[in-house]
Amino acid sequence: MSNAVPQTERAWTVGTAPGIFPSIGHSIALFRRPLDFLNSLPARGDLVEVRLGPLRAWMACHPEVAHQVLMDPRTFDKGGPLYNRLRPLMGNGLVTCGKDTHRRQRRLLQPDFRPSRVADHTDMLGRQAELTCRDWRAGDQVDVSAATMALTTRVMNHVLFSDSLGAAAAAEVGDRLAVIVRGLFVRTAVPVDALFRVPTPANLRYRRAVARVHAIVGEVVAERRRRGPDDDRDDVLETLLAAARDGSSEVTEQEVHDQLVTLLLAGAESTALCLASAFDLLARHPEAERRLHAEVDAVTAGRRRPGHDALPRLTYTRCVVAETLRHRPPGWLFTRVTTRETTLAGHRLPLGTTVLYSPYLLHHDPASFPEPERFLPERWLRERATADPRGAMQPFAAGSRKCIGDTFAMAEATLALATIAGRWRLRHLPGYAERLRPAATLGPRSLVMTCQPRAHAPAGSTPRARSLAPRATAAARVQDPRTAGDNGVDDA
């Protein structure tokens, strides 16, 4: 039975993306100016043909068309250039698996991410956020991208492995991941496998990064196995090993490994980029920053950090996270493949057709969000119930393939933002110019900012303002501000 969303009776428009070149199609435009390219598509139609090198694909530009794709995962299954390249990395885990095993996998992992489980983690989330900015000093130049990645990797290390991943291994995961997401994007935009079999330095770097992530996760699993079943810990690794031990379950050793790689990467990367983007955007929007600080100061008054009970009161902070996810969704472009002949926006698609959907495109269409380039957290305040009348807000996707970590990520980002912003105001370095170039994910990858202590820092956590002279912290990799924020896709 299909659970496709019935489409409105309307005349759909179907078009072709501008600027097609023989052989390479739109790959150069998608690679060099991806966000401008995406923004140009809705004017071409509700469903728009895009050529990825030799591959013909269709972008769902209207929210209802994207919704049909998301709500009918049996027809629009995981596949296409992105997922084909993700499989050697994530195997057949929850992000990449096809429709045949998805329901079983989701049932296995869902309990570890249900809201009550997320509530159990809020104290840990606050502690980890506090640790992130504990050693910052007034005037320090901090690599915010590195700091947020370290934070979210520590959090996933706790949830998945009860902190079994050593500090050096956790740091290495972050570094390798940066190489992987760049390489994945190039392989998605130019889906020609032969190019990536050539042993160029970039291809070798990519292969080494994938191999190291597998080895790091393999070592953690092996160590837990050596300890035996009596060492049962309350983490996702234990959920998986228990299922693998249970003869009636279909969970294999390979699946244990695939799920852990999947969750480690999916869980750390997107939330880190969301947080780094939030600090970047707040520094450019003083009024939103002022309102956020006022809320955080009121909610945390007299306490070291916001806890679980503070979450419902951090309404504006949550709006900042939501608007960051709208303005700059970390997951910005996804692919699907049709498992049968079907019709989309009135257009017939044969079996095996590649279909694309882009949260970035949907979030930046002025027909859905007036003045889409403006960063306006107020859009998400409850009194503006009509903020998303077309259902275009899809940072976590929708339907049965919706992000399993959505509740977790919102709690993590909200608490981290409130904890860090309670202590520090982060400022761009002089001369900073945004050059956001997406990789497989979107967000600032080398954002360096200066720390200014807040007057209302929470009790017991006064930032140490002993030196006003700029100095680098251990986490900071201070670099040329002209290139700060550059994702460096070019070298992938």
Which residues sit opposite 336 in a β-bridge? 78, 355
By CB under 6 A, tell whether 403 contacts ligand HEM.
yes
By CB under 6 A, tell whether 94 contacts ligand HEM.
yes
Minimum distance from residue 224 beta carbon to ligand HEM (Å): 19
By CB under 6 A, tell whether 291 contacts ligand HEM.
no
Minimum distance from residue 325 beta carbon to ligand HEM (Å): 6
Binding range to ligand HEM, per CB under 6 A, among 268-276, 278-286, 427-435, 461-469: 268-276
Residue 242, token pair as written in the block: 């228990």
Quick one: 306 or 331, whose CB is closer to ligand HEM?
331
Quick one: 393 or 426, whose CB is closer to ligand HEM?
393
Kindly provide the residue ranges of all beta strands, DSSP E only, lying in 170-291, ordered along the sequence. none
Distance CA 318, CA 113 (A): 19
Distance CA 298, CA 473 (A): 30
Other beta carbons within 10 Å of 128? 22
Kindly provide the residue ranges of all beta strands, DSSP E only, lying in 115-237, ordered along the sequence. 141-143
Minimum distance from residue 258 beta carbon to ligand HEM (Å): 11
Among 279, 369, 408, 424, contact with ligand HEM (rule: CB under 6 A): 408
Q: What burial class does residue 45 get, using C-beta atoms within 10 Å of its C-beta: 0-12 exposed, 13-18 middle, 19+ buried?
A: buried
Q: What burial class does residue 100 get, using C-beta atoms within 10 Å of its C-beta: 0-12 exposed, 13-18 middle, 19+ buried?
A: exposed
Minimum distance from residue 401 beta carbon to ligand HEM (Å): 4
Among 356, 404, 416, 448, contact with ligand HEM (rule: CB under 6 A): 404
By CB under 6 A, tell whether 267 contacts ligand HEM.
yes
Residue 335, token pair as written in the block: 């692919």
By CB under 6 A, tell whether 401 contacts ligand HEM.
yes
> Which distant-in-sequence residues (6+ apart) come within 8 Å of 97 by Cβ?
78, 105
Report which residue's Cβ sits closest to ligand HEM: 405
SS3 state of residue 45:
coil
Residue type, 404: I
Distance CA 212, CA 206 (A): 10
Residues numbered 441-470 forming contacts with ligand HEM, rule: CB under 6 A: none
Among 270, 277, 342, 354, contact with ligand HEM (rule: CB under 6 A): 270
Kindly provide the residue ranges of all beta strands, DSSP E only, lying in 381-443, ordered along the sequence. 424-428
Binding residues with ligand HEM: total (CB under 6 A):
24
By CB under 6 A, tell whether 239 contacts ligand HEM.
no
Residue carrying the six token digits 């992938």 = 492
By CB under 6 A, tell whether 106 contacts ligand HEM.
yes
- How close are the terminal C-alpha atoms of the chain, in Å? 42
Residues numbered 330-359 forming contacts with ligand HEM, rule: CB under 6 A: 330-331, 334
By CB under 6 A, tell whether 409 contacts ligand HEM.
yes
Residues numbered 17-76 forming contacts with ligand HEM, rule: CB under 6 A: none
Per-residue binding string, ligand HEM, 294-333, x by CB under 6 A, is: -------------------------------x---xxx--
Residue 57, token pair as written in the block: 């694909």
The footprint of ligand HEM (CB under 6 A) covers 94-95, 106, 262-263, 266-267, 270-271, 274, 325, 329-331, 334, 395-397, 401, 403-405, 408-409
